[in-house]
Structure 1
Amino acid sequence: MHSQINLSPLKADWSAVFSLFLGVTSLISAEFIPISLLTPIAKSLHITEGMAGQTVTAVGIFAVLSSLFLSSITGNMNRRKVLLTLSLMLIIANILIAFAPNYILLLIGRSILGLCVGSFWSLSSAVTMQLVPKQNVSRALSVVYAGVSVATIISLPLASYLGNLIGWRSIFLYSALLAAIAFIWQFFSLPQLAPQTDSNFKNMILLLKQPWVSTGMLATIFSYGGYHIFFTYLRPFLQHTLSLPANTLSMLLLLFAIGNFIGTMIAGWIMHNYFKSAMIISHIIFFILAISLFSSSNNPATDSALVVAWGFMFGFLPVGWSTWIAITLANKSEMMGGLSVAAIQFAIGLAAAIGGSIYDHHGINGIFLISALIFIVALFLIQTSLTLLMHTTTKQLP
């Protein structure tokens, strides 16, 4: 176990990076497991599926709050201690959820999970930059965010399949076990991690007053919103619109997650070398995919390929936006991380709400069309933010 404060390492600490990867995997899988287990959770606790679905909303609300105020609350506390505390809280949250006898305790467990998600995510970019040299940051970020891809596999096809065999409570106990493994790995691998002392809510607001930062955060909202407005209704599209058999549907969800994993790993190298072009082109591709889905006449083979491509391209979003933070405001990455998490969680919630209304009134084609329009807005905001950045600073973007 390391002992010294590690500000600018000469050598990459890949064991610590992969411990964060496992932490992200356990966090995000726990966050989204209820999506594939709404019916058995609702039946077990004698609540509606709508009420069970609000457990996902609870995570989002507390994730936003914790991401905005974590730096102010933790102050100068060593970030190693903060991360270990959050990993321990994740274990407790999963156990509480697994044994929850009623809806109230289930919500409490999910709220604790939300605090972990928002806090861990807001620190992840800043901590990763303390673990590897500058030239390895994009690669390390792609490793950490690959945890989202693995979590997608765990929380969608795997949790759905195992939930039918061993019950939803056992799934959360296994989730607690995964979190415990992550905690142990982090305990033995994470070095001492210095906080950024100017990170507080007041300075976050001052940061947002810079036009290129506020425009970039708005672009983040539209970027994630364009993706999640379809992702939220992916399963109804596959099950009801394409009428895929259960086995085919599960296999396609698995391919979606594998595509996401591959995209995330590739994105690290591409964003490091061609950041500006990659951000623009990736959003153009998302627009093309949305229009293609809108125009495909619900052909199962074509749409399945487009869905896997959608999963592949998502890998570029978390890596791209975290790279944006790393190359523009590395010395303020904790504050930027907090703002970014708040923006992403807001985007997910807003996309679900708007998407629900559009899906009910205009069906899945309405979802594809609005997604395409959102990506056009995101593209304009990204270009505007990058232009403002280059006009107001001397930073050179790859």
Structure 2
Amino acid sequence: MARTEEIAGTGTGGGRFAGRGGWPAVAAVSGATFTVVTSEMLPVGLLTPLGNALRVSEGTAGLTLTLTGLVGAVSAPLLTPLLGRLDRRVLLCSMMALLALGNLLAAWAPGFGVMVVARVLVGVGMGVVWAVAAGIAVRLVPGDGVGPATSLVFSGIAVASVLGVPAGTYIGELAGWEAAFAVVAALSLVALIALAALLPPLPAEQVVRFGGVLKLGGNARVATGLGVVALLVTGHFAAYTYVRPVLEEISRVSPTMIGTLLLVYGVAGVLGNFVAGAGAGRFPRGTLLVIAFVLASTVGLLPLLGGSVPAAGVLLAVWGVSYGGVSVSVQAWLLAAAPQAREAVSSLFVGVFNGAIALGALVGGVTADGAGVEEVMWLGGGLALAALSVGALGRAPEGGRPG
């Protein structure tokens, strides 16, 4: 087995990683995560033209985002066990092909019904790719590189929020919303080719069964990690979904300046991904506790201290750094908590993460309509404090290196 791993480039104990694999393969997986998250979030900047073209309201058009997130949340823990015997290289390439098909169908969609089908396909591809990619770095690079490699894989998610969605919006303004979906379909095919060319054969390490996925929820360390990410992501999206009205009403930020501030937030998020990745590899609990505390403080203080553009900019940058580290830190926690079931625990992670996105947007909307946008910020900060409590009081893995 050790010889097979060394040849395939999948060992974790310092083999030579000959042939395909290594850092080029990690970069290809990062490109895949960038593509799936860009595909998921693409409708955010296209809601108005999309709704007009499909003859639905902007609220209905927004369901294209919610639906994809929910499908991804369900498909990750369900399909990963179902497809458990497939070579991971084959599985990733197949899901990228499905993603390309979904985006092409969206670009062609003559009506809302076809768009719904397209977005379901995108959700399936996104959920499975994210679940498999989340735990694959340990099979591509030697042990000392696993932490940085995992950070690089998750940087695709962070960069998508900075570049992917704005770029899609810009393409939509220049050439129409159909062109934006077509370009992302082409990007999916490029990612597919890169994965096929750079990944080594990656036979399934163990058969992932649905019952085994659910059983992991009974692992106290896994349950704590999932509880932390559920609260952090729900709180973040409850607040971040309404950050624009907060900036307009409290900070008196002009519409032209909002894009700049959100870019600052996004760039800070990419930085936070790598900073947290370096710490979470050895101290997953400590890293997550710091993230939760900073996130709670920043979001909660924005209505109180963000009354000027410079102050709002500083708070958004700190918010970005803290939230940017959530994904990679929780992933390090979960891989250390269940090193023998990396893909199963990653599928749970993806399911909880995407479910929390949908829940956060929902509770944030209810709070904003019923109480106001300031209260949404305090809700987000309160949920981050709850995550801090769960992380501090719950069971944690001893270290962040996956075994």
TM-score by length of 1: 0.93
| Matched AA of 1:104 | G
Q: Is the CA contact 2:81–2:208 (under 8 Å) kept in the aligned structure 1? A: yes
Deviation per CA, 1:221-277: give whole Å up to 9, x if none. 002112211122223333455443333222222222111111112222122243332
Q: CA RMSD in A?
A: 2.0
The answer as to 2:17 corresponding to 1:8 is no
How far, CA to CA, are the matches of 1:83 and 1:162 in structure 2?
A: 27
The alignment partner of 2:85 has SS state of coil
Once the two structures are TM-superposed, the CA of residue 158 in structure 1 deviates from its matched residue by 2.8
Q: Is the CA contact 2:270–2:324 (under 8 Å) kept in the aligned structure 1? A: yes
In the alignment, what sits opposite 1:148? 157
Q: Is the CA contact 1:127–1:193 (under 8 Å) kept in the aligned structure 2? A: no
Once the two structures are TM-superposed, the CA of residue 357 in structure 1 deviates from its matched residue by 0.7
In the alignment, what sits opposite 1:349? 358
Q: 1:62 aligns with which of 65, 71, 77?
A: 71
Q: Is the CA contact 1:142–1:264 (under 8 Å) kept in the aligned structure 2? A: yes
Q: 1:179 aligns with which of 167, 181, 188?
A: 188
In the alignment, what sits opposite 2:203? 194
Between 1 and 2, higher relative CO (CA 8 Å, sep ≥ 6) is seen in 1
Q: Structure 2: where are the runs of 5+ without partners? A: none
How far, CA to CA, are the matches of 2:295 and 2:153 in structure 1?
A: 23
In the alignment, what sits opposite 2:146? 137
How far, CA to CA, are the matches of 1:389 and 1:166 in structure 2?
A: 50
The answer as to 2:128 corresponding to 1:119 is yes
Q: Structure 1: where are the runs of 5+ without partners? A: none
Once the two structures are TM-superposed, the CA of residue 291 in structure 1 deviates from its matched residue by 2.4
How far, CA to CA, are the matches of 2:359 and 2:115 in structure 1?
A: 23
Paired residues, number: 391
Q: Is the CA contact 2:80–2:131 (under 8 Å) kept in the aligned structure 1? A: no
In the alignment, what sits opposite 1:35? 44
| Matched AA of 1:31 | E
The answer as to 2:164 corresponding to 1:161 is no
Q: 1:232 aligns with which of 241, 247, 256?
A: 241
1:242-281 aligned within 5 A = 242-281=251-290
The alignment partner of 2:202 has SS state of coil
Percent sequence identity is 24
In the alignment, what sits opposite 1:369? 378
How far, CA to CA, are the matches of 2:396 and 2:44 in structure 1?
A: 39
Q: Is the CA contact 1:30–1:175 (under 8 Å) kept in the aligned structure 2? A: yes
How far, CA to CA, are the matches of 1:153 and 1:207 in structure 2?
A: 33
TM-score by length of 2: 0.92
Distance 1:241 1:97, change over 3 A: farther
In the alignment, what sits opposite 2:340? 331
Q: 2:388 aligns with which of 379, 392, 398?
A: 379
The answer as to 2:311 corresponding to 1:302 is yes
Q: Is the CA contact 1:157–1:253 (under 8 Å) kept in the aligned structure 2? A: no
How far, CA to CA, are the matches of 2:348 and 2:371 in structure 1?
A: 33
The alignment partner of 2:109 has SS state of coil
Distance 1:80 1:170, change over 3 A: same
Once the two structures are TM-superposed, the CA of residue 396 in structure 1 deviates from its matched residue by 4.8
How far, CA to CA, are the matches of 2:337 and 2:6 in structure 1?
A: 29
